[in-house]
Structure 1
Amino acid sequence: MASLNVYSVLVVLFLTCGAVMATKDNDQIIKENNCETKMGLPCVLEAFMSIFKTKGISNKCCDELVVLGKVCHTTLGKRTLESPIFKDLNLATIIAKSIQTWNNFLALIDSPSPSS
């Protein structure tokens, strides 16, 4: 349960990282696209866990992420990685996982559901 709290804090940082830590360009993109209001916190947590940990993600959250859009997904990820909290992470690995996560979302959304 303690690890869930840690990840919740990281997700809040992901969503609310201040302008001091983000470049003006990222903040403008986020504001112009209303990126911080398009996903619910539970789905943000699932997306975060799928990128920073090896976790799955529900179809509901895949739908929310696709509505969020690739621009928001990428920009929020970049802004998160600018935080000093993540300075010791391998950025190339995290970016690759972020791209893989996005592609997995699209594959889940595009795949036909089994007929009942």
Structure 2
Amino acid sequence: MAKFNSQISMLFIVVAMVCAFVPVYSVDDNEAKSSWDTCLVKISPKCALDIIAVVFGNATITDSCCHDLVQEGKVCHDTLIKYIADRPALIARESQYLKKSDDLWAHCVTISKSA
């Protein structure tokens, strides 16, 4: 039960950080805003949160969200994760997040090919 509470707490922290940082910066950066507008229409909000929880926390992802992620495309995935990881509160662990992002992508490609 403690592990579940810890995962839920991490998810809320990640969601709060994304909500706090992303909208502020995306308005000022037209290219990033365009990426958000273009890429996020390809993926459900639940899957987007799951992907963020995997990369910036210790969550797992469902096969259906993997399919959505692969449909989103590698460029969109990389751009959005890099954009979030560049925030001042996260930059110290950016390389760790980018590795987790690449690992997630490879996992999802494998899942999508086997379906």
Q: 1:106 to 1:81 in 2, by over 3 A?
A: same
**TM-score computed with the length of structure 1 as normaliser:** 0.74
1:11 Cα offset (Å): 4.2
Q: How does 1:1-116 map to 2 (within 5 A)?
A: 3=9, 4-12=11-19, 16=23, 17-20=25-28, 22=29, 25-28=31-34, 30=35, 34-89=38-93, 91-112=94-115
Contact 1:14 1:76 in 2 (8 A): no
For structure 2, the residue ranges without an aligned partner over 5 or more in a row are none
Q: 1:96 to 1:85 in 2, by over 3 A?
A: same
**TM-score computed with the length of structure 2 as normaliser:** 0.75
Q: 1:99 to 1:35 in 2, by over 3 A?
A: same
1:87 Cα offset (Å): 2.8
1:14 Cα offset (Å): 7.3
Paired AA for residue 100 in structure 1:
D
1:77 Cα offset (Å): 1.0
Percent identity, aligned pairs only, is 25
For each residue in 1:4-23, what CA deviation from the matched residue of structure 2 results, as whole angstroms up to 9, or x when unmatched? 43232234457644243x5x
| Distance in 2 of aligned mates of 1:54 and 1:99 | 15
Paired AA for residue 18 in structure 1:
S
Q: 1:103 to 1:75 in 2, by over 3 A?
A: same
Aligned CA RMSD, in angstroms, stands at 2.5
| Distance in 1 of aligned mates of 2:100 and 2:56 | 8
Q: 1:79 to 1:73 in 2, by over 3 A?
A: same
| Distance in 2 of aligned mates of 1:12 and 1:65 | 20
